[in-house]
Amino acid sequence: MKNEIQQALEALNNGGLILYPTDTVWGIGCDATNPEAVKKVYELKQREDSKALICLVSDIRMLEKFIFEVPEVAYQLIEATDKPTTIIYDKPINIADNLIAPDRTLAVRVASDEFCQRMIRQFKRPLVSTSANISGRPTPQSYSEINPEILKGVDYVVNLHRDKKCNKPSTIIKIGNNGVFKIIRK
C-alpha cells in the first residue's frame, strides 16, 4: 500500500489524474485545489463543468479547512452513518473555483477506506472523487469494467483491490447552513 500511495501522490503533485478504488466505486481523482487538474477530469469524463464533482477528505479536521462553516447536524450525521455518505455544503473555501457548483456548494465525503484516508492525509488536500466512467454511461462495478478511454486518460492507476466488486455510490445529502437538509440520492 505504501508504494501505491507514493506513486499516486507523485501523479497528484504533478497536477495529474489517478484512477483509484474508493469506499464506494472506482474513482477518477485529482487535486481538488488545482483548477487545471479539475478541468482534466471534466474533459476525460466528457462532462459539462456545470455538473458538480464530489471531493474526499481524510477526516473532519480537513473538512473544516475547506468548508467555511460545517453545520452541527453534519457532524452528527458523519458520526452516525455506517455507510458512505456525501454531504453537500454551503460556502466551500480554498478549493478550485471550477469544482464549486453554480449555487456555491461543494459535495464532500469523509473517506472511510484505509487507502483513501492514508493517501489523502499524506496529500494534505482534498481529492476529487468521481466515478470512473464517461458521463452518461453506467458506473463500472469492478476494475475490469472500466472503459479503456478512462484507463488511457489518467496518469496513474492504483494497483489495489482490482478484483473487488464495488459498492454502490454514496448517499448524498444537502445540508444548508440553516440546518435544513434534503436527501439527494439514497
| Global confidence as pTM | 0.93
Contacts of 161 (CB under 8 A, 6+ apart): 21, 115, 143
Split into its structural domains, the chain has a count of 1
Instruction: State the CATH number of the domain containing residue 106.
Output: 3.90.870.10
DSSP assignment, residue 100? S
- 120 to 73, 82, 113, 129: CA distances (angstroms): 24, 20, 11, 11
3-class secondary structure, 155? coil
Q: Domain range holding 50? A: 2-185
> Which pLDDT tens digit goes with each residue over 58-112?
999 999 999 999 999 999 999 998 889 999 999 999 999 999 999 999 999 999 9
